[in-house]
Structure 1
Amino acid sequence: MGRTGLQNIAKKQFQGERIKENRGGDRKSHLSQEKKDNVRKFIGKLRGSESHYGRNKSKRIYLMAGLSIKKIHKIYNTNTTDELKVKLSMFRRIFVSEFNIGFKSPATDVCSYCTILNHKIKTYPSGSKERNDVIIEKRIHKKRANAFYQLMRQDVEDSISYCFDLQQIQPLPKAPVQEAYYLRQIGFYSFCIVDLKGLKPQFYCWSEEQAGKGSTEISSALLHFLLNTDFQSHTILRLFSDGCISQNKNNIVIRTIMYYLQTTRTSLKEIHMHFPNRGHSFLPADRVFGRAEKLLRNKPTIIAKEEYIEIFKELGQLYSLGQDWELKDTKDLKKFYKDLKNISNMKRIFFKVSEVNGKRSVRVRAMENFIYEGNETYENLNKKSFTINMLNRMQPKTLPLSRSLSNEKRWM
């Protein structure tokens, strides 16, 4: 230390001042602390959505698919003062280490009509009449879609509610081997029926060499569910499913429900079916499938379908085709019932039972909207040659469980 330094120390001691050490140490952290606090405040205000599937009730939230950390950092710096702007490296470190935030995957199953309207909104100039008209049209479309979920949340007196859906096809065998990936595997199918709380799911499982994934399989599983479920003296059964024409929303399923109501002694007097707008079909069954996906991710190799069955048994009741339920020729019911016309446009289909002189009859009412009711009336879909005695004698026959596979899938 030089002479000047010693004189300064002596002077401060004589004046009673505290001598401050200025050599080394952290001179920058206190300068960036305010910036870090501002970044945390900004990120904390981001509003995302929980996982659609509700996997394990995670606290992680998801932002829009089009966003990224880099884009959010740019938004932050654009809307803050120069003194509080930060580098991307600092922003990324706080975002990743202190917050549980992810980004949604790009949507692959969206409403085509919503996509068209969104494109039109971007095309027309801001404030133009055309753009405002499209925005209003989209708002109305969204409200119609939300009406389905309003129906699902309704508490209808003396009713019990379920939803059903077919899970995404699972590959068999499933193996982390490149050769197996490029070969054509057979499919393992899982049809789930669950209450609206997502509790006590029931799985109907089969593989592709046994049967397909069309209306016959879905209606057979649904018939088994109806025949073997205790509805606890409820008089109304409410069913919710997507509007897939080849599986859920078709005359084969309609005839199967009519057959059940006319040939079975049950407390049910009405069955209500509800179908959402296309692209807006988020059901409680999807949450169950989310839990299944989590278990399947932990098992990278599955050689036999029995391994799939054991996994689904961990989630709920499982019925294996050929052991617990049978594939019925529900298409043959066409000889007794007429088609419900214009079924593809219907949002609600009601079945109502009446009994006269000990004979049960079922009438059907179909509506093209969720809330408002027009002039639709209950109609009789029985054919002229129909008799209940004939229906009781001619039960749907059991179909053999053998389905031809393509040569590409016979490598196993």
Structure 2
Amino acid sequence: MNSNVKIVEPHQARKISNIKTMQKKARKRQKLYSAPGLPKMPPCKHNSKTLKCMLLTSRDIFHFHQRLYRNISKVEQDNYILKYTVATKVKRLRPRKGAKNPRAFAVKYFIPNNTKVLIPVCKKTFLQASRLKSSRIEGVVKRHYDTGGIARKNRGGDRKQFAFASKAEAVEKFIKSFKPLESHYCREQIKVRQYLHPNLNIKKMFIMYNDQSLPGYGVKQGFFRKIFNTRFNIGFGSPRTDVCSFCLQMTEKIKVETSQAKKQELFTQYRIHKLRAKQFFKMLQEDTPGLLIVSFDCEKNLPLPKIPDQTTYYSRQLYYYNFTIVMGTSRSTLAPDNIHAYVWMEDEASKGSNEICSALYHCLNSIDLTGVNKIRLISDGCGGQNKNSIIVSMIMKWLHETTSNIKNIELIFPVTGHSFLPADRVFALNERVVRQRENIIDPKEYKTIIEEHATVHQLATKVTVYDWKGKCKEFLKNTNSWHFQISKCKRLVLKKKGNKINVRGEVSNRNDIRQSKSLLKRGKRLVEMTLNSIPVGVPIKAAKLKDVNNLLTKHYGADGCI
């Protein structure tokens, strides 16, 4: 990100200053300048050459009153009054006895009728129609007569703004000199909120400003903080974790490289890498009719028992597995309706490609595919679980069996180091609750936490686990015989044509240059693929069970053992 920190609109700032006071003033102002009531018909019977109050109808009075209070603003109302009043200089002064100041001008009042003709009226009629006090109208007309200008807002405001404008401008210029951090996963360009280096804070920046400021431009910390909070929307990032190793390697090489040609070459490689990562996230964000995006990932193993004892760090524990599937783009709302979590214990089933394929197969068979003609499956590039021939065989099997209108399925893999998926957002919600729990002994407690954000399915016990690995070896060619190298592919495209399923592998997410071919062995057909279930249960080593029992006995006595 080459651009510097930007100034934002007041309503987009880090903090909106004095919002409660502003709201209170707004309510008071609204009450003060709202209509005190409906207009009244004038009691006068003027119908002379100079005054024609009798020509006005109740509708004319009402429309005049309505337009006056259309804007609850003193300035707008004052200008509306000036529009229908005329102040003229008094031609003949006849001061009354005891009067302090003789009149300098005379006022003529008008009210428009339904044809927008100005009807001259008396002062009393004008006051009855506007429901304003005489002093306010006289003040508005007098100020206009003295200055010749329209009404302006002179009340309130920041009286010190201009006195310290140069200092505020210097502080702004200093803050704008910082460069914000680039978004970790490049999911979407930051539009308002920007982040500075985690080593910085407002106090450090204030000290830095005063150290380098010119004489007479030093400010107090409160002044600096106010400019920072009300004119910018800046946060301070957290120390980075799980950063792409290639990105770190390239940035460090670019820093130390002295040759300009070599530096340009490194920068080009780094730029291409970032563009590929950005293209992946664009595909994850794509929202077009007929396209269903399905992303999936495994959460980190959840330990059982979870207790605050320090000896758990050295003890072997049982694990609770969570495989989550999210329907929708990365911008879709996370709700239990579009999130499916498949959970199981370590002693119920393994955590391999058979379990992943079985859960995904069950999910695809259980969701409503009305109006969908293309599915895009997105996962990380873990070879043992997602990026392998076993999951390809499962997708081929499902695509062959489905009765929906789906003829095309894409399997997308991210650029290494840039694999943030919607499922990771769900995991963060789960882990936020888990961190607040001191003790978790029963697997049902984990299940309850996951159920807050997803529809939970019990794998192995209620959702059958099939032997996809065995069927893959039986029906599909060895990966060495495929017409593409799956390890180098970022996109696999499966197309259904009749009873045949052809597959092609692309090294880029944009290009479609490879040829589609069948991956089945000679003489094999998908209709012949019958699935065999895997029995529930995985043996646990005695040493692990012993460690778990020791932990439970230590905290809950002999009754807590398994």
- Structure 2 residues not aligned, in runs of 5+: 1-162, 549-562
- Match among 164, 182, 205 for residue 314 of structure 2: 182
Code of the aligned partner of 1:162? V
Give me the whole-angstrom Cα distance separating, in 2, the residues matched to 1:40 and 1:242.
43
Residue identity over aligned pairs, in percent, reads: 33
Structure 1 residues 189 and 158: alpha-carbon distance in aligned structure 2, compared to 1, 3 A threshold: same
Q: Which residue does 1:115 correspond to in 2?
A: 248
Alignment match, 1:368: 507
Maintained 8 Å contact 1:329/1:399: no
Take 1:43 and 1:405, find their aligned partners in 2: how far apart are those partners?
59
Aligned-residue offset at 1:236 = 0.8
Alignment check: 8 A CA contact 2:461 2:536 kept: no
Q: Which of 436, 455, 464 does residue 326 from structure 1 map onto?
A: 464
Deviation, structure 1 residue 238: 1.0
Q: Which has the higher contact order (CA 8 A, sep 6+)?
A: 1
Aligned to 2:442: 304
Q: In 2 relative to 1, CA 301–114 (structure 1 residues): closer, same or farther, beyond 3 Å?
A: same
Once the 2 structures are TM-superposed, how far is the Cα of residue 38 of structure 1 from its aligned partner?
6.9
Per-residue Cα deviation, 1:281-315 (whole angstroms, up to 9, x for no partner): 12122222222222222222211111000011011
For 1:33 and 1:299, the matched residues in 2 are separated by: 52
- 1:3-402 to 2 correspondences below 5 Å: 47=180, 62-65=195-198, 67=200, 72-73=205-206, 75-77=208-210, 80-85=213-218, 101-107=235-241, 109-125=242-258, 128-194=260-326, 195-196=328-329, 197-199=332-334, 200-333=338-471, 334-340=473-479, 341=482, 342-355=485-498, 360-374=499-513, 376-391=514-529, 394-402=530-538
CA RMSD after TM alignment? 3.6
Q: Secondary structure at the match of 1:407?
A: helix
- SS of the residue corresponding to residue 250 of structure 2 reads helix
SS at match of 1:176: coil
Structure with max Cα Rg: 2
**Preserved CA contact (<8 Å) 1:203 1:316:** yes
For residue 400 of structure 2, what is the amino acid of its counterpart? Q
State the 1:41 CA deviation: 8.6
Contact in 1 for aligned 2:350/2:538 (Cα 8 Å): no
Q: Which amino acid aligns with 1:81?
A: L
Q: Residue 380 of structure 2 aligns to a residue in which SS?
A: coil
**Number of matched residues?**
369
SS in 2 for 1:254: helix
Deviation string 1:107-155 (CA, Å, 9 cap, x unpaired) is 2x22222122112111113x72222221222112211211112222334
Which whole-Å CA distance do the structure 2 matches of 1:331 and 1:119 have between them? 42
1:7 alignment counterpart:
none
SS for the counterpart of 2:397 is: helix
Unaligned runs of 5+ in 1: 1-30
Which one-letter code corresponds to 2:307 in the other structure? A
Change (3 A) 1:62 1:266: same
TM-score scaled by structure 2?
A: 0.58
- Report deviation, 1:182: 3.2
| Distance in 1 of aligned mates of 2:490 and 2:377 | 12
3-state secondary structure, aligned to 2:492: strand
Q: CA deviation at 1:103?
A: 3.0
1:405 Cα deviation (Å)? 3.5
Amino acid at match of 1:192: T
Q: Normalising by structure 1, what TM-score?
A: 0.77
Per-residue deviation at 1:82? 4.6
Residue identity in the other structure for 1:121: I
